[in-house]
Amino acid sequence: MIEKLSNMSRIYKQLILMSVDSVLLVVTLLAAFSVRLGEWHFPKSDLELALAIFSAPAVAIPIFIYFGLYRSVIRYMSFKDVRAIVQAVSLYALVWGVIGFMAAVEGIPRSVILINWLLSLVVIGGLRVVLRQLLGGGLRLSSVKNIVSSDQKRVLIYGAGSAGIQLSSALEHTFEYKPVGFIDNSLELEGSQIRGLRIYSPDSDVGKLIEELKVSEVLLAIPSISRARRSIIINQFESYPVVVRSLPGVADLAQGKVSVADLRQVSIVDLLGRDVVQPNQDLLGKNISGKVVMVTGAGGSIGSELCRQIVSLKPKTLVLFEISELALYTIEKELSVANIDIYPILGSVNDTKLLSQVLKHFEVNTIYHAAAYKHVPMVEFNNTEGVNNNVLGTLKCAQAAIDAKVETFVLISTDKAVRPTNTMGATKRVAELILQALAQRQNNTQFTMVRFGNVLGSSGSVIPLFTKQIKENGPITITDKNIIRYFMTIPESVELVIQAGAMGKGGDVFVLDMGEPVRIDELARKMIHLSGLEVKDDNNPNGDIEIHYIGLRPGEKLFEELLISDNVSETEHSLIMRAEENFIEYKELQVTLLEMEAAIDKGDQATLRRLLVKVVFDFKPQCDIADLLYKR
């Protein structure tokens, strides 16, 4: 019956509720007279009194309609609806009494008006409370939609503040989750109850609590918490087989609306516990606002995020330079809604003529050079193209910028350029050396390099790989148990790149504060646990996901560094440092670059390796030449 009522049209529900209210109002009036007279009273012979009693709905229903009692959705009834019920019933009881006395109806004691008011409040209000429980799922009736409580996910809500209370209220209207308690830091709240749910202290035995309450998920309902604090809370549940989800930030809750749909799986960003520093708006807009900006590699992970943030800073024009047609189409389509001129240019950074034409035609002021091959094993297997793109492509792009009198040129570099063990890192260090050398011999273009580590979610990174492997029930593959990496989100890294580029004076190498390094093995284990699964190993043979160690790949090293020397100074941004690195004069470097170009033309990988070792003094190859075209 409840299911049929739920499926009825809105108008039918309103008519049924009006009919039920009408019957209850008459019964309530009869009950009021009976209470006053001390016996069941029904006016059989008094026609006027009977008419007064049975006309009660005619007085009440218009008042109820005026106060919106039939417009509100009962399953989502709030305090405002309760207040409307009290106001409507009070006015009805008063109007009915006044009409009765004005009509001089005999047999209406004055106390009946008060009794009728009280009983009507209980009956009319009580009816809606019962319906709210039935329709809203508060009673968890297993007959509705054939859902039984055993199918529900039993959840603990971390945070008994306003967001937590709203969340528990929202969960009452679902059959997917069943709140079983709160966890909150407040000592005053410990042991008390909210909405019938007990509040526990985070210092209590969490494992025992999860086992006793049969908890399968923990919902973080503290939207204003810092990432560092969030990381501490998440680590508290890491060793237990529960899924941890969280509410979005305060900005998303500005309207006070919390729904189950707002819950999201705890992200790797939450695991890192890294708080974002507010950007310097003057630095962000210095090289972008009102200027013509070009991004090379515009369709890549870093390049595309650069484009998004650049658009928000209101440039005069944005030129998207990309070799991949699909990547260029994708980012151009995404940004097409922006109210600025955007031009997609399909081409290679090795095409000197095209670069020169583009820079001069659009009169480019600022270049962000993100075009590079960055996947370490892939570059090892394709040495010549790696050097051709990362080294010679940077050289040609920089020379074209000088010729076109581009004001600012910012190179996106990498921590792998520091004491490199692979070809990719060596080529990025050579790219840095090129810009350092060019900065010393001309004043047309200001060259800046920004060096940082791994970014979360970029193509080829471990996070998407681990997520995919967990969804496929494993195993998770890790190259070495002791491998560590620095991580930063793509938006944060790009925001810092833009600010660092604005601080350059010519030939500067900036390094970003990447926070604490992360052990990849620990990262994988956290991701498994927070997916509600367990690691399968010798200590836990009944676990869900295995971890396989497959050995370091060609060119890979156990840890990355951001500085070659210790000569580093602070800048006006707390997360950006200026490094003083040695460089090579352009005349000396130019000879090596010409030899590299000749070796690429011949496909001479051995000479390329020798030249990279020669120019990058601390390049210590981790493996022999692995180019797929190399003939030993």
Give residue-wise pLDDT tens across range 335-384. Answer: 998 889 999 999 999 999 999 999 999 999 999 999 999 998 999 999 99
Contact 296, 269 (CB under 8 A): no
- CA neighbours closer than 13 Å in the CB half-sphere of residue 136: 19
Q: Helix or strand or coil: residue 178? A: strand
What was the pLDDT predicted at 600?
Answer: 95
- Is pLDDT above 80 for 558? no
Q: Mean pLDDT score of the chain, rounded to an integer?
A: 83
- Is pLDDT above 60 for 148? no
Pairing state between β 317-322 and 292-296: parallel
Banded model confidence at residue 68, pLDDT cuts 50, 70, 90: confident
Q: Beta partners for 510?
A: 450, 578
Tokens for 451? 């060096």
Contact 221, 159 (CB under 8 A): yes
Q: Which of 147-156, 398-407, 435-444, 600-609 has the lowest mean pLDDT?
A: 147-156
How large is the average pLDDT for residues 6-20? 79
Tokens for 617? 């003094």
What was the pLDDT predicted at 467?
Answer: 81
What was the pLDDT predicted at 588?
Answer: 93
475 preceded by a cis bond (ω within 30 of 0): yes
**Amino acid sitting at position 466:** F
- Is pLDDT above 50 for 170? yes
Contact 349, 277 (CB under 8 A): no
Q: Where are the alpha helices (DSSP H) in 320-392?
A: 325-335, 352-362, 376-381, 383-387
The distance between the two most distant Cα atoms of the chain, rounded to a whole number of Å, is 121
Banded model confidence at residue 169, pLDDT cuts 50, 70, 90: confident
- Is pLDDT above 90 for 129? no
- Is pLDDT above 90 for 460? no
The residue among 542 and 291 whose pLDDT is bigger is: 291
Question: Which of 41-50, 166-175, 242-251, 276-285 has the largest mean confidence?
Answer: 276-285
Burial of 438 (0-12, 13-18, 19+ CB in 10 A): buried
**Percent of the chain that is helix, strand, coil (3-state, to 5):** 50, 15, 35
Mutual angle of helices 47-54 and 79-102, in 10-degree steps = 160
Banded model confidence at residue 504, pLDDT cuts 50, 70, 90: confident
Q: What is the dihedral of CA 183, 186, 187, 190, to 10 degrees?
A: -30
The residue among 449 and 564 whose pLDDT is bigger is: 449
The residue among 244 and 451 whose pLDDT is bigger is: 451
Q: How far apart are CA 560 and CA 575, in angstroms?
A: 18
Q: Which of 70, 112, 515 is nearest to 276 (CA)?
A: 515
Q: Which of 227-241, 292-306, 370-384 has the lowest mean pLDDT?
A: 227-241
Q: How far apart are CA 536 and CA 528, in angstroms?
A: 10
* Catalytic center residues: 416
Q: How far apart are CA 219 and CA 468, in angstroms?
A: 23
Burial of 55 (0-12, 13-18, 19+ CB in 10 A): middle
What was the pLDDT predicted at 206?
Answer: 83
Q: Which helix (H) or strand (E) holds 344?
A: strand 341-346
Work out the number of other CB atoms within 10 angstroms of the CB of residue 132. 21
Q: How far apart are CA 590 and CA 120, in angstroms?
A: 94
CATH entry 3.40.50.1100 includes domain 291-297+354-615: no
- Is pLDDT above 90 for 248? no
Residues above pLDDT 90, as percent of the chain:
32
What was the pLDDT predicted at 147?
Answer: 42
CATH 3.40.50.720 placement within the chain? 152-266, 291-297+354-615
Banded model confidence at residue 316, pLDDT cuts 50, 70, 90: very high
- Is pLDDT above 90 for 162? no
Which residues have a Cβ under 8 Å from the Cβ of 68 and sit 6 or more positions away?
A: 84
Q: Is the C-alpha dihedral spanning 17, 23, 29, 31 positive or negative?
A: negative
What was the pLDDT predicted at 143?
Answer: 40
Q: Helix or strand or coil: residue 43? A: coil
Pairing state between β 487-489 and 535-536: unpaired
Q: How far apart are CA 227 and CA 272, in angstroms?
A: 8
Tokens for 12? 């039918």
- Is pLDDT above 70 for 2? no
Question: Which of 45-49, 174-178, 610-614 has the largest mean confidence?
Answer: 610-614
Superfamily (CATH) of domain 152-266: NAD(P)-binding Rossmann-like Domain (3.40.50.720)
Residues above pLDDT 70, as percent of the chain:
83
